[in-house]
Amino acid sequence: MQLRTRPLTDTFGLEILDVDLANLDDETFDAIYKAWQDQPLILFRRQGLSERQQVEYSKRFGDMDILVRDDMLSPDNPEIIYITNLMRPDGTPLGGLGNYEVYWHHDQIYRQRPASGSIFCAVEMPENQGCTSWCNTKLGYDTLPDNLKKAIEGKRATAKYAVKEGSTTLKDLGHNKDEMKKIHDRTPPATHDIVLENPATGQKSIYIDPNKTMGIEGLSDEETKELVDALTEHMVQDKFIYSHAWQNGDVIMWDNARLWHKRDAFDMTKPRFARRTTIFLRPEDFAVP
């Protein structure tokens, strides 16, 4: 089947047109699956998925994950996390991540077995605020200087939840001591290869988090910082980045093995509500940490 598409940038990303994700036949789904293998970032506009429909669509790509933070989960569909600045009637947050800036990261790199596929449904978004950007770490690897390629080949990095998050910490995010201990107990340090390879295509990508990296095997803390900083400086070139101004009804799927992403801060008085599901992509078809 031939999907109607248009590119998001000159280098990566794809918008798929004229598709209703709530009513997909197998042929159309298979075409979307193959498109995601090729392109790490896919956009659909004007979707109206319910929570249950989002879960059912996500399950077609692989097994689903449940986030380590209970406070962000949908009460009816725990496979869904709420990304929102909205509050419950009792004054507690409805979901997570508020309105502050979220710096470049891979989702779940702090897990021993990360779920690397993310599907994000924009329900209510402030106009031209809280934009999300993605950085292509596959293109970053392809264009690395030889000295940096040599520096990371065969190396493994250890990540931990909330080592740092821009200038914020778990305490800054409103967690009390019990919540902080629970999160840390659930997320012991995890070590992964810095260079991932897709078994189906042979393509390689960089898999290291500028904020959650505790150390790199064989390197001192200072050497780790220098290498992470050098990789970050190389990767965050405009030609490797797509920035998205959200519209209600947008659905974006991304592959965390090939992308970093970040979010801009936005006006706290502007409501923002989105839902994300996270998937264990199939290791025979995708680069899996």
Each residue's pLDDT tens digit, 143-178: 999 999 999 999 999 998 865 544 344 444 445 566
Q: What is the pLDDT of residues 271-281, one digit of tens each?
A: 999 999 999 99
What's the CA gap between 281 and 58, in Å, rounded?
10
What's the average model confidence in pLDDT over 257-271?
A: 94
Q: How far apart are the first and last CA of the chain?
A: 30
In this structure, the number of other CB atoms found within 10 A of the CB of residue 216 comes to 22
- Mean pLDDT computed over every residue of the chain: 91
Strands 96-97 and 251-255: unpaired
Question: Does pLDDT of 196 surpass 80?
Answer: yes
pLDDT at 26: 97
The pLDDT value given to residue 106: 94
pLDDT grade for 208, boundaries at 50, 70 and 90: very high
pLDDT reported for residue 180 = 65
Phi and psi at 32, nearest 5°, equal -65, -40
Residue 123 has pLDDT above 90, yes or no: yes
Whether this prediction's pTM lies above 0.75 is answered by yes
- Quick check: 207 and 137 in contact, CB under 8 A? yes
**DSSP 8-state assignment for residue 253:** E
Q: Looking up tokens 């996500």, which residue turns up?
A: 58
The amino acid that residue 73 corresponds to is: L
Rounded to the nearest 5 degrees, what angle is found at the Cα of 120, between the Cα atoms of 117 and 121? Answer: 150
Residue with token string 């097994």: 63
Identify the structural domains of the chain with CATH numbers, from first to last.
Answer: 4-281 (3.60.130.10)
pLDDT per residue as tens digits for the range 9-53: 999 999 999 999 999 999 999 999 999 999 999 999 999 999 999
Give the separation between CA 219 and CA 207, rounded to whole angstroms: 17
Residue 206's Cβ-side half-sphere holds a number of Cα atoms within 13 Å equal to 28
Mean pLDDT of 82-110: 90
Among candidates 169, 199, 195, 198, which has minimal Cα distance to 184?
169
226 forms beta bridges with: none
Q: Please tell me the distance from the alpha carbon of residue 221 to that of residue 216, in angstroms, as a whole number.
A: 8
Residue 64: both structure tokens together: 């689903």
Q: Cα dist. 22→33, 122, 207 in Å?
A: 15, 15, 32
- Non-local (6+) Cβ contacts of 91 within 8 A are none
pLDDT at 162: 63
Number of Cβ atoms within 10 Å of the Cβ of 4:
9
